[in-house]
Structure 1
Amino acid sequence: MAETSMTDQRDIVDHIRDNAGEVAGEVVVTGGVDTHKDTHTAAAVDERGRVLGTRAFPADTAGYAALRGWLAGFGVVGTVGVEGTGSYGAGLTRYLTGHGVPVVEVNQPDRHARRRKGKTDAQDAINAAHAVASGRCEATPKAGTGPAASIAALRTALSSAVKSRTAARNQLDSLIVTAPAKLRETLAALSSTKRITACARLRP
């Protein structure tokens, strides 16, 4: 029987190491998700960074469940990197963390990888997964719930209301400037609140 060379032995060892997890059913899957308003594109990579697959899902609860199940179909889901956890990816982030899946925030696509590999949703998802697998992204996303999130929402609504009120007053003042003299003089003598009330009562 011919002896096995050292090169052949190394090839056999590498093959066993590369596929040991797969044989044992213990492949640890890292996910990456490129998020958009209506759809999310996910990618799955294994421990060695090999791409296992990419797929798009609806950005709703059913889509989140399908995405999670799809990743789990490749093995044990380790960590999922999600772009835009504070915007388009907020719902998916809450869903995954609520089901015990660790999520890492991927703030910005790798520009170097984009230039080298091109720009597609699938490629962005793969880049996100690789960024997590390599340890380049480790930030835990904000939950988006609790008192802090509630206060932030109220502040946003208040700011918008104040801006809208200011814009409306400026528009009214501009209209009064060109109004007939009698009407202009009557409205100019009123306070801002009374002026608005008087104008609301005007009819053609």
Structure 2
Amino acid sequence: MAWAREFGPVHRAGVECTGSYGAALTRYLRSESVRVIEVNRGDRSDRRRRGKTDTFDAETAAREVLSGRATAVPKSGDGHVEMLRMFKQAKGSAIKSRSQAINQLKAILVRADPALREAMTGLSNPALFRRCADLEIANPSDPATAAAFTLRLLARRIIELTMEIDELTGQITAAIDAHVPGLLTRYGVGPDTAAALLLAADDNPERLASEASFAALCSVNPVEAASGKTHRRRLNRGGDRQANSALYMITIARLRWDKRTQDSVQRRVAEGKTRREAIRCLKRYLAREIYRDFTTARRASPPASSAV
């Protein structure tokens, strides 16, 4: 992490890693009325020639700020979206652990005693987990009782993780409603997809110049790919892949159930576009729709005390 501060009529500071190691420094500088600018990692060729030192990194950061090459406003990380980031991280790990526990439970059940296995046959997953959790095994003394003992432990773990996931989903929903009221009423938008899009924009969407910049952040903007006499546009493979995936999931949900979306795709296919190209167009329009919700909510909410 490197940072450099300029003293003058306007105090500015260039900081690396504003979303991780430099987050606390960024918050402190903003509380001191210093304008913080996010600085990318320095040029690798210079690092190879001159070595990597804190002094050199600070000098590089200062040059980026003074020359005007570094202009990005870092994420504030002090509001509802920061809460969402923590909730979503905990939920993701809980989902992963639950999936692992379910796979282990079913693998053990396949090799369990035939009588025990037959007693569990035909049950749905929730019923299976409840049945396994109610198994009464005091002291396992052979492979059959050891399997039942392990099934009980895994089933109880799955049930606990399910309760944890449900609780985190409720917290995520509450944070989204508090930050962008009405976003979850959009057709096809759920807590997970809304959280992914909010994490991309963060608590201060005004740092994005326009809805076009938000579309670029979500990788749904067409990229010019002209070469000689050939002029075409290609798919943008950069940006925030989680936000891009969220837009895709919303689009697919609308394409499956929303009549207007289905008519739009059919019209574009009739015009000569492929289905994939039509879906990309829908993702671009959806990014514009979501960005308007963000900016509307931002104008309606009071400014944060830490903003500069």
Supply the AA of the counterpart residue of 2:130. T
Change (3 A) 1:198 1:122: farther
Structure 1 runs of 4+ off > 6 angstroms? none
Higher relative contact order structure (alpha carbons within 8 Å, sequence separation ≥ 6): 1
| Aligned position for 1:193 | 126
Q: Secondary structure at the match of 1:137?
A: coil
TM-score, with length taken from structure 2: 0.39
Classify 1:98/1:43 alpha carbon distance in 2 versus 1 (closer, same or farther; 3 Å).
Answer: closer
Aligned to 2:174: none
1:9-36 deviation line (CA, Å, top 9, x unaligned): xxxxxxxxxxxxxxxxxxxxxxxx52xx
- Structure 2 partner of 1:5: none
- Structure with more of its chain in strand, by fraction: 1
What is the aligned length?
A: 136
Partner secondary structure for residue 11 of structure 2: strand
TM-fit CA distance, 1:183: 1.4
AA matched with 1:131: E
2:24 is matched with which residue?
A: 91
1:148 corresponds to: 81
- 1:182 and 2:115 correspond: yes
Q: Percent identity?
A: 47
Structure 1: state its 5+ residue gaps: 1-32, 35-41, 47-74
* Contact kept? 2:38, 2:71, Cα under 8 Å: yes
Spell out the pairing of 1:100-179 with structure 2 (5 A cutoff): 100-179=33-112
Report the CA distance between 1:120 and its aligned residue: 3.0
Q: Is the 8 A contact 2:4 2:15 kept in 1?
A: no
SS of residue matched to 1:161: helix
TM-score of the two chains, using structure 1 as the length reference? 0.57
Instruction: Confirm or deny: 8 A CA contact 1:113 1:127 kept in the other structure.
Output: no
Q: If each structure's helix is expressed as a fraction of its own residues, which one has the higher value?
A: 2
* Larger Rg, first or second structure (1 or 2): 1
Give the match's secondary structure for 1:158. Answer: helix
The aligned amino acid for 1:198 is: R
For residue 24 of structure 2, what is the amino acid of its counterpart? G
